[in-house]
Every structure is written in C-alpha cells, then in structure tokens.
Structure 1
Amino acid sequence: MKKRLLLAFLLLTSLAFAQKTTFKIKYSEQLAVLIFLQNLSENYPENVFKTEFQKSKYNTDYYKSIISKFDKLTIDYSYRFEEFPYGSKKSVQTEDILKKNLIETENIKEFKLRSNGIIPNKILSDLAQCISEFIPIYNELIYNPNKEKFEKQLEEITKYSNEHQIENYFEMGLLFYNSSWDNAIPFNIAFYPLPNSKGFTAQAFCNNFISAIQTDLISYKVLFSVMLHETFHIIYDEESLEVKTEMDTYFRENKSKCSNYAYQIMNEALATALGNGYVYEQLDGKLETQDWYNKKYINGIAKQIYPLVKEYINQKKAIDKNFIDNYISIYETNFPNWVNELDNIMTYRYVISENEKDFTTIKQLFRYRSRTEYEDQITESSIEKMQKIPLTKVIIISKNNAEKLKLVKSKFAALKNWHFNSDKEFAERIFLEDKSQLILVNQKNSTLETLFRSIK
C-alpha cells in the first residue's frame, strides 16, 4: 500500500511539473476604469478617453473633483532587490500590484481586501471610491458603445491563442533565459477596448499582460508578438540570483569597450529579437521586414543578434558565456560608435546637479530613458554612490565651480592628468574604467541645452 501511495504521489508530482503555464484571457472592468481615470488626468496628453468624457454630460464640477482627487493619490511606491546586480531585476512597483489585484478580483470589496497593506488604507479607500464612482460612466461612454465588437474580438483572440498554442512561446522563453516559473500561477491577459484608435497598448508586470486594443483590430499576429515581447521581460526578470550574477560577471569580464552599454540594452534587445522577430516569424511564416522597435538602437541591435538568438532557440540552448561574448562582439562590430552617441548613452543615466531645473532639462533633451537616477548634492558621498552604478554619469556644476571641479577630479582616476579652468564653460565626455561615460559640465552663463549640444 505504501509503495502504491508513493507511486501515485510521484505520478501526480511529475504531472504537475509537466504542466505548462496557463494563459487566461479576460476583460477586467475594474482595471479598465482605473486606466480610464488615469487618462482623464490633467497630466495626461489628449486621448480618446478624455475626448469622450469632456463632451459628455458627466463633465461637471462634481466628477472633475473626483478626477482631481484621484490625480493626487500616491499609489506608486517601489523597492529594489538589493542583492541582485544593479539593473538586472525590476523594482517592485505597488501600482503594478494594485493592477494585478484589480484583474484578479471580481469586485471592489475583494480588491480592497486583497490590497490591504500595499498602500496606506486611506489612499486605498479613496482609490476604490474613485473607481466605483466611474464604473457606470466608463460603461456608458466607452464599453457599452463598443461592447459587441470588443466581445467578438475577445472570443477571436482567445481562439487565436489556443490555435497557435501561445503558451509554448512562454516555455521557450523560460528555456532560453534559463529562468523559471511556478506553473500553479496562471498568466493573466487582460484586454479592454480602445475606440477611435489605430494602435494598441501593451504592458506586462507580475503575472499579467494588459492591453487596450483598437475596436477594428482584425489581425492578431502583431498583438501576440508584442504581448510575448513584454512577457519575455517578465521571464528575464524571474532569472535566479545565481543566473543574474553569473551573467553580470560575463559582461564585466569581457574586454570590449562596448560591454557595459551592450549590457544596458540587452533586456530590450532580446525581448525584441524574440517577440518581434522569432514569434512574429512563427505566426506569420516570414520575418517582419519593417522596424521591430521604434527606437534606432534597440531595433538595430535586435535585428543583428537575431540569427544568434534563433540558433540558440532551435538548439534549445540557454544563454551562456558564449552567447554573451558573441552578443557583445556583434554590438561592437556593427555599432562601435554607439558608446559615444548621447541619444544612446543618455538612455541610462545618473545625474548629479544642485540645480533641480537641470533634471527637467535633461528629461526634455533625452526623453527616452530606461534607467535613471538623480541626486541634488555634489559631495564626496554622492559621487562615490554614483561610481558604484554602471550608468552614464552626468555631473553639472553651476555653483562653487572651482571647489566642485577639484572634488570631482579627485574622485575619478580617469581625470588624474586632466586640467581645467573653472572660469571657463565646458561640457566634456570622458570614458571611465567601468566602461561608462562621464559627462562633466561646467556652467556659467550658457543654458544647459547649449552646453550639451557642444559635446563632441
């Protein structure tokens, strides 16, 4: 009897591990209303949701006060996994967890119970009230007029997913990234309608993918290739500490001057090569000939590494040292000057300035950013903190110039033989030992934009 029980247990265990991750496709009213409210904010650009609301009977002082109240709620806190190499694992965002809970619960009461403790109770209560107030408004203005088309789309999307066994690409990603996933946790995919639009949105977090889809969307291959792109970010994020530490070591030990910036772009490059390249090719029968990504650097490197990525997928191999070395070599051979191009290196930046207006200027000059850090004091400790992080290092000096320049020079070995005139304006780019760039700005009268434009 004991042997039979043991065999039965082992059989059930092996079946559990053999199961694939379940993809659950649904519509989440609560999530849709949260995003509707976010789009009504004064801080958001003009959009279809705002247009529909503004011309409706609900565009009154009462409902605008609820939008204003919602807009002031702080729901996005974050914390890092400090033991992981910098930038290799996404910080936890409380807004993502709240969205996850909206998707996974059936009503506002359940949502509040599930979300208790994530953000302060008063904020959670106010958030729930705002969503409740706007559910009927959202349904009347957005959902109901598009209900028939959207629900048909949802059926077609579910059918497409099943017919093309989309979950197999998830399993492929786990193997390629040498990552893991508990198959007891389903992957939830939440769609909501986006009327009067020519495109769809895409975001993935935790065990969720969410997307607003245009109501006239009839071809789903692009949608699913983008969905898998975002999903591969999650799989990358779920790599173990051991895998990420090993990967970090491969990049640090590589002798190429491009290794650091190749590392910074790798997450996006791999997701693009896999999702927009490989998945699209499998769904369509041929590679997409147009751009795979709307940013020059990501699109360029993703297409160049695609043969290498496809080789590893076909051979069912996980990323290893050989892959990383080849990836860096492809980057350096095809794009050797990228490490000097501001539009590229400023995507990953750590800025120190004692003038907070400079942070706004930097954001305006370099709108696309992947990782950013800001510090408003130029001190020995702030510079030492900056030196530990492999981002582009920007130090802007506009006060006590001679003293601050002397301090900066003393902290960087690459500046040992560097001579400066603190009375003269300049903006210089210096390549550092950690293979990041230091951009040092000495500002007097010129605008920060003018000084950045002068960098060769």
Structure 2
Amino acid sequence: MKTRILTFLFCGITTLIFAQKTNFSIKYSEQLAVFVFIQNLSENYPENVFKTEFQKSKYNVEEFKEAISEFDKLSMEYSYKFEEFPDGSKKPMQSIDFLKKNLIETENLNDFKIRSIGIVTNKTLNDLTKIIALFTPVYNELIYNPNKEKFEKQIVEITKYSTENNIENYFETGIIFYNSSWDTSIPFNIAFYPLPNSKGFTAQSFYNNFISGIQTDLQGYKDLFSVMLHETFHIIYYEQSLEVKTEIDKNFKENKSKYSNYAYLLLNEVIATSLGNGYVFENIDGKIDTRDWYSQKYINLMAKEIYPLINEYISQKKPIDKDFIDRYITIYEVNFPNWINELDNLMPYRYVISENENDFNVIKKQYRYRSRTEYETEITKSTIEKMQKTSLTKLIIVSKNNKEKLNLIKKEFKELNNWKFNSDNEFNYKILLEDKSQLIIINQKKSTTQTLIKKLETETK
C-alpha cells in the first residue's frame, strides 16, 4: 500500500511539473552589464556608445586602458561540437556563453568564480573577475546611474508587458511546432541592460538566457518582444532531440530538388524570423508587420513566403514534419530559383581553402553576413575530405603549384571527372555537387582575390 501511495504521489508531482509553463524571469544583471561594457571598450570593437562615454571620461587613463588590453588577451572562447547530431543542426557549446550565463545567474563575483571553475583556466577566471570588479564603479558612474531612473522604469514596464501578453504561451507554441522540449523547472532568464544614446537594441540568446541592451528612450515593446521570441525560438530549435534532428536532416537530404540543401541552410533563421517577427508580432500588435522582418534579403523574403504555411501548422498545433519540409523546399524553388547561383546567398555558409590567409579577410569583408564558416590553409587530400563532409558552399582558391593542386582537386571530386582546365590561365569554375552544394574553384595567377571574386559575382548573376 505504501509503495502504491508513493507511486501515485510521484506521478502526481510529475504531471504537475509538466503541466506548468516555463517561468520567464526578467532582470538586470550588473555583472553581465559590466562584462559587456568592457567588451565594447576593446580596440577590436567598432565605435559605440560605451566607448564614447569612456573615452571622454576621467577614467580614460593608463590604468584602465591596460586593464582593457589585458581583458582582450584573456582566453575565454572555447567550443565543442555535439558530434552525434547532423552537421550544423545543433549549436556548439561556447565557453564564453557559459561565462555570461553564470554572470547572470550569480549574485556576486565570488559565486560567479566558484560556479565557473573548469570552463576556463583558474588564472583566466581570476583575472576576469578582477577586471570586472575594477570596472564596476566606472560602469555605474558613466552608464547605469545617469540612466537608472529611466531604465528601472523600463524593467517594470517590460515585466508587465510580458505578463499581459502571455509570453510563455509563445514559448509553448514554439515547443509544439519544433517538436522540441523544455524542462519547466528550468527558468528562462532575460537580462536587460541600458543602452544610452542608441537608435536600437541588441539581442542574443544562449542556453536558457536572452540578453539585450535596450535604448533608454525606447517607446513601445512589440519590436523588442518579437525579436526576443525570435532568439528564443533558436534555442528551442537547438533543443530538438537527436531523433527529431535526424529525421529533419533525412527529409531534406532525400528530397529530390536541387534546391533542398540551400533551403536547409536557411531553415533555422527563416523559421525563427517567420515565427518571431511574423506570428508573434502580428498577435501582439493585431496586424502583420509590413516592414522587413530581417536585415538579410534571403532570410527576410523566405520567412515572409512561408508565413502562411507556418500559420497553418500553428493553428492546427502540428509539429514540423516531412510534408512541411517538402512544401518549404517547393516554396524556395518556385519563388527563388536564381538564389542557388547568387554568391550573397551561397557565401554565408562557406568552407574556404586557400594557402593565402589574407584571402580569408578579403572574403569576410566581401560577405560580412555569415552563419557557418570553416577555413583551411592547405590544399591537401585530407582538407578536401574534411570539406566534403559538410554541405556548405565549397570555395577553393589555388595560387601556388597550380597544376598539381588543380589535379588533386579534380581527383577528389567525382563530379570533376570530365573537367578540363588550363592551369596557366586564371579562371573561375562553379559546379553543383551531388550533395547539392556549390563547389567554386578559383585559379589565381596575377589578379587579386578581390578582383577574381568580383568577376565571379558578375559571371553568376
């Protein structure tokens, strides 16, 4: 009898836990805010409101400039992939995101340090906490205190707005659509910090966190919340089970359309945009947003085209399935057949091999928007084989030992069996591979890489 009662109680508690909705905790994290402040003071960051305020202050002296330089040297960025998942379907673990998560979830730097041991070296952790402690009064004097009244009022208003608009319901909608899951005992932490003299807000999500710098004169919160849910949907996407991820990957790869690979590469951002900037915005505002939903052309247009399909699935509480994927690919193929050749669409998802490292900087400058990138500095059998394991756009720039390297490339790609080339001449060559990714070969002799890429762009239009 005791066993039965305990079993019943346990089942009841389990049912109650899973019936609960995810708790969205909205807060200000001083520790995170100071960390972001220091990041923005780096020489590696472009001009920004934090840097402007610091540079004209009394703190712009050697002591603090040296601390900023030391911060830049800290080794905080490590990652590991979830190897069992289909390539690109799950975001790698990023150590710097874990550090930010712990800054949000702890109340003081000592707790942060204890929580974060093992993520980076102890010396790095000690140096980081000392620098944050040094800059905390600087940040408060220059940024937080002058904006405190406005910002704290915003936090109250945002919290109220979240409650009134039932933000957790959109989270649940995402869970159903993505066929994903979330343990409701884990809260979703939303950390804001003030962004004075700014024309817009920032947005980033990771694990169970969303962080955003908000302009202190922000009027209305519908844009903020649609973007916040957009970022949250990325997290739900990454939390899909291995089984769901594998099934989605299989459905894309078995689809016969030559457009399926590049439609797949857009999927994560397109769905988050259609859900967040389309569905959430329309439900909050009462009418659809007629502006661009995303700053990148291809994501914006595709997100708008699939919106009726998204609405259909949400209204029927259906999860993403093979039929959705097939219809999604058809929408891509019918409406945007030229995208498969446009470099602005191909290059955000790129794997580049070049023996001249400066080529990578040229490509980064030419194609600033990037989602997934890999770079190799040697043209060898092993680097080509590594490249072939991904479905990214494959760009190989040959500038040394041209004949030998071109013959190696031809040998490694079966699609090049009948390819004829003259290694003494400069040329661009592009072919759609069996995995439906584009292979681009640039044979460089005298022209600059920038010139050859510009020529390639002209040829592919």
TM-score band by shorter chain is: over 0.9
Map of 1:55 onto structure 2: 56
Instruction: Quote the offset at 1:370 in angstroms.
Output: 0.4
Residue 416, structure 1, aligned to residue 417, structure 2:
yes
Helix, strand or coil for the counterpart of 2:212?
A: strand
Q: Distance in 2 between matches of 1:191 and 1:150?
A: 9
The aligned runs of 1:22-41 (5 Å cut-off) are 22-41=23-42
Map of 2:211 onto structure 1: 210
Map of 1:135 onto structure 2: 136
Instruction: Quote the offset at 1:13 in angstroms.
Output: 1.7
Query: Identity percentage over the alignment?
Result: 70
Residue type of the alignment partner of 1:128: T
The aligned runs of 1:113-132 (5 Å cut-off) are 113-132=114-133
Map of 2:87 onto structure 1: 86
Map of 1:314 onto structure 2: 315
Instruction: Quote the offset at 1:7 in angstroms.
Output: 3.0
Instruction: Quote the offset at 1:218 in angstroms.
Output: 2.4
Deviations 1:247-281, CA, capped at 9 Å, x for gaps: 00000000001000000000000000000000000
State the TM-score, normalized to the length of structure 2.
Answer: 0.98
Residue type of the alignment partner of 1:21: T
Q: Distance in 2 between matches of 1:106 and 1:67?
A: 23
Residue 431, structure 1, aligned to residue 432, structure 2:
yes
Q: Distance in 2 between matches of 1:146 and 1:398?
A: 54
Map of 1:195 onto structure 2: 196
Unaligned runs of 5+ in 1: none
The aligned runs of 1:271-310 (5 Å cut-off) are 271-310=272-311
Map of 1:221 onto structure 2: 222
Q: Distance in 1 between matches of 2:426 and 2:397?
A: 11
Map of 1:253 onto structure 2: 254
Map of 1:104 onto structure 2: 105
Helix, strand or coil for the counterpart of 2:71?
A: helix
Instruction: Quote the offset at 1:427 in angstroms.
Output: 1.2
Deviations 1:90-119, CA, capped at 9 Å, x for gaps: 000000000000000000000000000000
Map of 1:352 onto structure 2: 353
Unaligned runs of 5+ in 2: none
Q: Distance in 2 between matches of 1:425 and 1:204?
A: 44
Map of 2:13 onto structure 1: 12
Map of 2:396 onto structure 1: 395
Instruction: Quote the offset at 1:73 in angstroms.
Output: 0.8
Q: Distance in 1 between matches of 2:9 and 2:94?
A: 41
Residue type of the alignment partner of 2:140: N
State the TM-score, normalized to the length of structure 1.
Answer: 0.99
Helix, strand or coil for the counterpart of 1:337?
A: helix
Instruction: Quote the offset at 1:5 in angstroms.
Output: 3.9
Which aligned runs of 4 or more in structure 1 are off by greater than 6 angstroms?
none
Q: Distance in 1 between matches of 2:237 and 2:8?
A: 35
Residue type of the alignment partner of 1:421: N
Helix, strand or coil for the counterpart of 2:103?
A: helix
Helix, strand or coil for the counterpart of 1:373?
A: strand
Residue type of the alignment partner of 1:312: Y
Q: Distance in 1 between matches of 2:8 and 2:349?
A: 53
Q: Distance in 1 between matches of 2:385 and 2:50?
A: 46
Q: Distance in 1 between matches of 2:246 and 2:5?
A: 43
Residue type of the alignment partner of 2:259: C
Instruction: Quote the offset at 1:4 in angstroms.
Output: 4.0
Helix, strand or coil for the counterpart of 1:244?
A: helix
Residue type of the alignment partner of 2:379: I
Helix, strand or coil for the counterpart of 2:306?
A: helix
Helix, strand or coil for the counterpart of 1:454?
A: helix
Instruction: Quote the offset at 1:453 in angstroms.
Output: 1.6
Helix, strand or coil for the counterpart of 2:440?
A: strand
Deviations 1:104-148, CA, capped at 9 Å, x for gaps: 000000000000000011011101110000000000000000000
Map of 1:404 onto structure 2: 405
Map of 1:21 onto structure 2: 22
Residue type of the alignment partner of 1:251: F
Instruction: Quote the offset at 1:6 in angstroms.
Output: 3.5
Instruction: Quote the offset at 1:428 in angstroms.
Output: 1.5
Q: Distance in 2 between matches of 1:217 and 1:362?
A: 36
Q: Distance in 2 between matches of 1:386 and 1:4?
A: 58
Q: Distance in 1 between matches of 2:13 and 2:69?
A: 53
Residue type of the alignment partner of 2:86: P
Question: Which deviates the most, 7-16 or 155-164?
Answer: 7-16
Helix, strand or coil for the counterpart of 2:25?
A: strand
Q: Distance in 1 between matches of 2:166 and 2:440?
A: 48
Residue type of the alignment partner of 1:413: K
Helix, strand or coil for the counterpart of 2:350?
A: strand
